[in-house]
Amino acid sequence: MRERLAAKLTAAFEPSRLVVEDESHRHAGHAGARPGGETHFNVQMVSAAFAGKSRVERHRMVHAVLDEELRDSVHALALKLEAPAGPDRVS
């Protein structure tokens, strides 16, 4: 699943930095956790596609790309999404 998420995000946003970390082991026994893991992810991404976008807009963009995974497999997705440093950067 980690590779699938990374591939979809790379294709959609052409990030200059992308880290997709499976944090499922930290949520064992919690809601949405499965024995095999791959349910809780942390994504850190820098992409020019986020320039001029608010945090909410960036999150919506990622959720739209990963809609199928969020409906079927992924229980939790923590996001840190940034535009490259520059005049259009919105935190």
| pLDDT score for 23 | 87
State pLDDT tens for residues 23-37. 886 645 556 555 556
Print burial letters for 10-37: b (CB count within 10 Å at least 16), e (below 16).
eeebebeebebeeebeebeeeeebeeee
State pLDDT tens for residues 37-80. 678 899 999 999 999 999 999 999 999 999 999 999 898 899 99
Sorted by where each starts, the structural domains of the chain and their CATH numbers stand as 2-82 (3.30.300.90)
pTM for this predicted structure: 0.82
For residue 91, what pLDDT band results from cuts at 50, 70 and 90? very low
